[in-house]
Amino acid sequence: MNKMVKTTILTMLLTGACGSVFASANPFSDVPRDSWAYTAVEKLAQDGVVNGYGDGSFRGAASITRYEMAQIIAKAMAKENVSAADKVAIDKLATEFADELQNLGVRVTNLEAKTDNVKFSGFYRLRAENFSKGVSSIPDTVKSYFEIYADAKVNDRWTAKSKTKIESDMDKDSNATNTVTNVYAEGKLFGGNVKIGKFDTVDGYAYTHEDPMSGVQFSFGNKLKTRLSGGEISNPNNYFSADYGAAELTYKLNKATNITGAYHVFRSINKGYKAIGNDDFDLGNIGFDTLFAKNLRFVALYAKSDANATVSDTGYFTELDYKYMDVRHPGSFMVMLRKFKLTDATAISSRYDCYTHGNVKGTELGVAYSPAKNVETGLKYFWGKDVNTDVDKNFFRGEIKFFF
Decide which of 5 and 127 is more confident: 127
Amino acid at 345: A
Query: Does 17 score more than 60 pLDDT?
Result: no
User: Which pLDDT band holds residue 93 (cuts at 50, 70, 90)?
Assistant: confident
Lowest average pLDDT, out of 37-41, 131-135, 181-185, 219-223, goes to: 131-135
Lowest average pLDDT, out of 121-135, 300-314, 376-390, goes to: 121-135
Q: What is the pLDDT of residue 59?
A: 45
Query: Does 220 score more than 90 pLDDT?
Result: yes
Mean pLDDT across 64-76: 76
Mean pLDDT across 26-45: 64
* pTM score: 0.69
Q: How far apart are CA 23 and CA 2, in angstroms?
A: 28
Q: What is the pLDDT of residue 135?
A: 52
Query: Does 54 score more than 70 pLDDT?
Result: no
User: Which pLDDT band holds residue 375 (cuts at 50, 70, 90)?
Assistant: very high
User: Which pLDDT band holds residue 71 (cuts at 50, 70, 90)?
Assistant: confident
Burial 338-377 (b: 16+ CB within 10 A, else e): bebbbbbbbbbbbebbebbbbbbbbebebbbbbeeeeebb
The 10s digit of each residue's pLDDT in 114-143 is: 545 788 899 999 999 988 755 556 778 899
Mean pLDDT across 197-212: 87
Query: Does 369 score more than 60 pLDDT?
Result: yes
Query: Does 40 score more than 90 pLDDT?
Result: no
Torsion of CA 131, 275, 306, 320, to 10 degrees: 0
Look up residue 205 and give its DSSP letter: G
DSSP letters for 24-76: TT-S-TTS-TT-HHHHHHHHHHHTTS--TTTTS---SSSS--HHHHHHHHHHH
Percent of the chain topping pLDDT 90: 43
Contact 303, 207 (CB under 8 A): yes
Decide which of 154 and 50 is more confident: 154
Q: What is the pLDDT of residue 159?
A: 94
Q: What is the pLDDT of residue 7?
A: 41
Question: Residues of CATH 2.40.160.10 domain(s) within the chain?
Answer: 118-403
Look up residue 209 and give its DSSP letter: B
Query: Does 301 score more than 90 pLDDT?
Result: yes
Decide which of 273 and 226 is more confident: 226
Contact 395, 362 (CB under 8 A): no
Mean pLDDT across 13-23: 38
Judge residue 152's burial from the number of C-beta atoms within 10 Å of its C-beta, 0-12 exposed, 13-18 middle, 19 or more buried.
Answer: middle
Query: Does 203 score more than 50 pLDDT?
Result: yes
Domain covering 118-403, topology? Porin (2.40.160)
Q: Is the dihedral of CA 200, 204, 207, 209 positive or negative?
A: negative
The 10s digit of each residue's pLDDT in 140-161 is: 889 999 999 999 988 889 999 9
Mean pLDDT across 214-221: 96
What's the chain's average pLDDT?
82
The 10s digit of each residue's pLDDT in 314-366 is: 999 999 999 999 998 999 999 999 999 999 889 888 888 777 777 899 999 99
Mean pLDDT across 46-60: 59
Mean pLDDT across 27-48: 67
Say if strands 212-220 and 192-200 run parallel, antiparallel, or are unpaired: antiparallel
Mean pLDDT across 187-205: 91
**Highest mean pLDDT of the ranges 85-99, 115-129, 378-392:** 378-392
Query: Does 199 score more than 80 pLDDT?
Result: yes
Q: What separation in angstroms does the CA of 15 have from each of 6, 22, 54, 60, 306?
A: 14, 9, 21, 14, 85
Question: How far is the first Cα of the chain from the last one, in angstroms, to the nearest whole number?
Answer: 61
